[in-house]
Amino acid sequence: MIGIRICLAAWLGLWLFLLAPATRAQPAPNLLPLPAEMHWGKDRLSLSKPLKLQLDASPDPAVRPAVRRLLTRLQGPAEPAAGPVLQIRYGRVGQPEKFDEERYSLRVTPMGVSIDAPTSLGVLRALATLEQLPVTEKKQRYLPEVDIQDQPRFAWRGLLIDAARHFMPVAVIKRNIDGMAAVKLNVLHWHLTDDQGFRVESQVFPRLHTVGSTDGLFYTQAQVREVLAYAAARGIRVVPEFDMPSHTTSWIVAYPRLKSNDSTYAPYTSWRTTNVAIDPTRETTYTFLDSLFTEMTALFPDPYFHAGGDENDGRNWRRTPRIVAYMQANKMVKADGKTVDKHQLQTYFNRRVLALLQKRGKTMIGWDEILGPDLPRETVIQSWRGKKGLVDAAKLGHPVLLSNGYYLDLNNTAASSYLTDPLPPDSPLTPVERKLVLGGEAAMWAEFADSVVLDSRIWPRAAAVAERLWSPQASTQSVADLYRRLPVISAELETLGLRHRIVPELLLKQLAGSSNVAPLRTLAEVLEPVKEYKRHFQGFTYTTATPLNRLVDAAPAESEVARRFGILVDSVVAGGATAAGRTAASQRQVAALRAQLLRWQANDVVLQPQFLLNPTLREYGPLSTNLAAVARLLLERLMQLQGGQVPSAAWLAAAKATLDAAQAPAGQAELAVVKAARRLAIPSVSAP
């Protein structure tokens, strides 16, 4: 009897197994940004047969080319006669400049793919998601079965690109727009003017673009229109920034009548803030701006216009008797009734600029310095100096954007941007004030980024900001999961044409010359440029003409090798290395750590002769020596741990000295492994 029962059960079980949909491991989503909601099925749609597009009427001419671009990347250029259907339905043409809906649903079943959205913008966002869905298994590509309902958390998800400090050619801007579209960023903030250059052709004031910079590089108006069309076809708005009243040396060089004093100005070729400002007291300044805005607001159709307003300490105004007299006559003085107050004069300037822009239907944006009680509320404030600027502005009734925490040029980690939230759970804003938080912008200032290295300074870290601004707060708290997905998005960005991965490698090859590049790469991948604004203050004088082709420029903004090393160190510190806690897994970790340390130690021996031969590399010699010294120290420490030995006071003192020395930068770069090394070497230092 029992035997029959077992047979029956096995027989039933076999049938249930055969009848059930194939149960496959659910894919860990590689999507970035994570959608608001997703439900994974158990089935899949094979991509061995190309998808056939079904898009009936498409009132938005951007949609069909966007689908074709995607399908070409997915399956090649030919339109199949038959195959599973990719069905796209949407209600109306989306208008990005009106913050139109970007919501969409995307379903994959074994029968095909369907995208539904109220607007064509939603379709574009769905296509970005679809591009990230394919999974390859046993050389077969397929789409996992899934039902996605998605919409953004914030309407304004920007990337600032500074094309003034270093000019960024059209092709560079376009490929970064492709990167933005891939991670659903939707506003390109184009920083077009600064002390070092005025980068857009002005037909009204042609000296601005021809005389203001030493390199004479600028966008023609036709090129601007080309970029705007390219962005619009990807559902991305372009907000231009004309930074004033300070950051305007290029304007003043071209049109000295704008200046506040009697100095003579030449094109500015340094990076430090000048505090040079145009004269807000003369009517001729406003007639100039009136004509310039007529031209530029027509060229840039977006309803928002960024007028800058940052970093003006007022020295040009305070030191000019005529302007001081103007401030006194107009009671622009501090509470003592005597001392002139440059902030009041700048607010006056802002009000005049605002009126000129409003006359043309534009909403003005300014950096947080322009905030003050007299600033009209409709001005949008972009907060860069701290989170307080955002809170203060929203409390005064201004719409706000967050950029503090999202400055890519400061070389902070993706995690630090990711954990920066425009509306954190402890935000002091009321529900009404919260509605004023439009979103935020990653910012890529270009003192230390030219058109060659720009991509590698933006990507993939900007994707962390993109997810913070798009995805629900609750489902995006795992830094580990962000780092799991960043390399995946990084590879996708590369297929889209971004040069963030290839350029550092090319720079290294150039630096290695006829030598083997591998040892140089081993060093470069554990270096990072010094953080925050320190690169300005390392005793190396940069100008606009300094080539950005040294080892520091090939070093990643955030070292992935160092990050992984830190994780390995922490797992070993957590008990893996002691004799008592020795499991197979922990032994593997110790072995991996030892192998890494031996590689670093040996690397210096190969690299030092290269440094001797190559004067452009020599400044990095100390970093290689220090890496080897740290490696030697940690190898000793591993021996101690495994032998259950407590380090002596003398050993600890020597270790501290080695680590302190290893923290010193060279060539404006620093070793990214020292913090983790300290956690392993010095028993009392705990994990971050």
Q: Which is nearer to ligand ACM, 367 or 620 (CB)?
A: 367
**CA neighbor of 39 nearest in space, from 147, 155, 192:** 147
Token code pair at residue 39: 């439900």
The set of residues, in sequence order, having a beta carbon less than 8 Å from that of 305 and lying 6+ positions away, is 239, 240, 242, 293, 296, 297, 357, 362, 363, 364, 365
Classify burial at 618, counting beta carbons within 10 Å of its beta carbon; exposed 0-12, middle 13-18, buried 19 or more.
Answer: middle
d(CA 279, CA 260): 4
Shortest CB 110 distance to ligand ACM, Å? 51
Shortest CB 280 distance to ligand ACM, Å? 19
d(CA 228, CA 230): 5
d(CA 215, CA 202): 17
Q: Which is nearer to ligand ACM, 79 or 311 (CB)?
A: 311
Q: Which is nearer to ligand ACM, 384 or 565 (CB)?
A: 384
Shortest CB 278 distance to ligand ACM, Å? 17
Shortest CB 478 distance to ligand ACM, Å? 30
Overall residue count recorded for the chain in this entry: 688
Of the residues 97, 311, 560, 619, which is catalytic?
Answer: 311
Shortest CB 467 distance to ligand ACM, Å? 23
Q: Which residues pair with 108 in a beta bridge?
A: 113, 146
Shortest CB 424 distance to ligand ACM, Å? 22
Q: Which is nearer to ligand ACM, 365 or 590 (CB)?
A: 365
Q: Which is nearer to ligand ACM, 485 or 535 (CB)?
A: 535
Q: Which is nearer to ligand ACM, 288 or 384 (CB)?
A: 384
Four-point Cα dihedral 498, 502, 508, 513, nearest 10: -120
Q: Which is nearer to ligand ACM, 154 or 384 (CB)?
A: 384
Shortest CB 155 distance to ligand ACM, Å? 22
Q: Which residues pair with 661 in a beta bridge?
A: none
Shortest CB 389 distance to ligand ACM, Å? 11
Q: Tokens 């009136």 appear where?
A: 290
Q: Which is nearer to ligand ACM, 384 or 406 (CB)?
A: 384
Token code pair at residue 54: 């079904």
Shortest CB 367 distance to ligand ACM, Å? 5
Cα–Cα–Cα angle for 224, 173, 90, rounded to 5 degrees: 85
Q: Tokens 């006071």 appear where?
A: 649
Q: Which is nearer to ligand ACM, 178 or 310 (CB)?
A: 310
Q: What is the DSSP annotation of 113-129? A: EEEEEEEHHHHHHHHHH
Q: What are phi and psi of 11, to 5 degrees?
A: -65, -45
Q: Which residues pair with 92 in a beta bridge?
A: 119
Q: Tokens 């600890």 appear where?
A: 652
- Please give the DSSP secondary-structure letter assigned to residue 248: -
Token code pair at residue 641: 């741990």
Q: Which is nearer to ligand ACM, 75 or 312 (CB)?
A: 312
d(CA 212, CA 656): 51
Binding stretches for ligand ACM (CB under 6 A): 310-311, 367, 384
Shortest CB 441 distance to ligand ACM, Å? 11
HSE (CB half, 13 Å, CA atoms) of 157? 30
| 311 catalytically annotated | yes
* Contact yes or no for 450/197 (Cβ under 8 A): no
Classify burial at 19, counting beta carbons within 10 Å of its beta carbon; exposed 0-12, middle 13-18, buried 19 or more.
Answer: exposed
d(CA 148, CA 162): 35
**CA neighbor of 553 nearest in space, from 461, 407, 673, 446:** 446
Shortest CB 307 distance to ligand ACM, Å? 12
Shortest CB 384 distance to ligand ACM, Å? 5
The set of residues, in sequence order, having a beta carbon less than 8 Å from that of 21 and lying 6+ positions away, is 41, 42, 43
What is the identity of the amino acid at 130? L
Q: Tokens 């998800």 appear where?
A: 157
Q: Which is nearer to ligand ACM, 310 or 619 (CB)?
A: 310
Q: Tokens 């990095």 appear where?
A: 620
Q: What is the DSSP annotation of 189-234? A: EEE-EETTEE-B--SSSTHHHHHSSSS---B-HHHHHHHHHHHHTT
Token code pair at residue 257: 């009548």
d(CA 347, CA 353): 10
Q: What is the DSSP annotation of 571-629? A: HIIIIITSSTT--HHHHHHHHHHHHHHHHHHHHHHHHHHHHHH-TTTGGGHHHHHHHHH
Q: Tokens 């008990």 appear where?
A: 575
Is the C-alpha dihedral spanning 426, 427, 428, 430 positive or negative?
Answer: negative
Determine the residue with CB nearest ligand ACM: 310
What is the identity of the amino acid at 297? T
Shortest CB 312 distance to ligand ACM, Å? 10
Q: Which is nearer to ligand ACM, 410 or 527 (CB)?
A: 410
d(CA 317, CA 236): 39
Catalytic residues: 311
